[in-house]
Amino acid sequence: MLLEDFLALMVNGVTLGAVYAMAGIGLNIAYKPTNVFNLAQGEFVMLGAMLGWLFLTDMSMAWIVGTIGVVLAVGALGVLEERVAVAPHLKVQSHHHGWLISTLAFSIIIINIADQVFRADPRFVPSLPGTSLDTMFVGPVAFNTHQVAVLVIVVASVFAIEYVYRRTRIGKAISAVSEDRDGARLNGINPLHLTMISFAAGAAYCAFAGIIAAPLMLASTSLGLALLVKGFMAIALGGVGSNWGTLLAGIIIGCVESLSSITLSTGYRQLLLLGILLVVLLIRPNGLFGKAAGRSV
């Protein structure tokens, strides 16, 4: 393999990995105060991409206006999901697992409606303002400015999310709920209110991920399941709840997938990724940066 080809595959892998990481971070955001893995999260990425096409391409809205519209619309859908598919279970028991069926059902409803509205044809979404999909070279490295923007945005978003959790009042309240839901309630924190906020934030974040990923992957109603699986792999490898670990794991997954594409078919690439994940979890059951769960009584 030529050096130029290797570097091109690495650039592509890092970019795809950043998108996978965003899907995983969206899962983390919803999971933190709830211990619920939202199985509809991948469809929120898909909706972000498809609504991005509708607003930015079909309706020719300004990028910032269309993006805000997409994020708000999908965020509102996240609130609806939390109200009808998650809150009833958490009100009964904080560790109730009925959400496995209810969030999966919500996901199926979304994808079926999206298929009817948008159909299955891939759609083009414009790149971020000031960026381009045209290839440029710096020495032997080939890339486009949209790829650079995606990586910068993902890293900046993780900094912002960690700042909210560590430095703001609402972030500290969410962290308290994630540590001890019942104890937080006894101290005047409303876990159900924070659950709704986290589901809205996780849905909005994934919608934004869909908008910035669509120029690279094309908007399609088939995006959701693939990104949900890759997002789960990223948080499992990086550590559930660790956003920096999820980012690193997503990039590892993207690079392995990209580099192996020249010799392996899609099915074998998935087996390779699952094999790597299995080996890591056998050595570190909580992921690369995850921490063992514990509770004092």
Nearest to 53 by CA among 113, 129, 133, 118: 118
pLDDT tens, residue by residue, 64-77: 999 999 999 999 99
How do residues 272-287 score in pLDDT, each as one tens digit? 988 988 998 898 888 8
Kindly tell me if the per-residue pLDDT of 9 is higher than 50: yes
**Separation of alpha carbons 82 and 112, rounded Å:** 19
Q: Which residues contact 222 (CB under 8 A, 6 or more apart)?
A: 46, 120
- Per-residue pLDDT reduced to its tens digit, 117-174: 998 789 988 899 999 998 898 888 888 999 999 999 999 999 999 999 999 999 889 8
Residue 185 banded pLDDT, cuts 50, 70, 90: confident
Question: Residue 94: pLDDT band by 50, 70, 90 thresholds?
Answer: low
Q: What is the largest CA-CA distance in the chain?
A: 62
Phi and psi angles of residue 261, each rounded to the nearest 5 degrees, phi first: -65, -20
Rounded to 5 degrees, what are φ and ψ at 143? -160, 175
Q: How far apart are CA 294 and CA 32, in angstroms?
A: 15
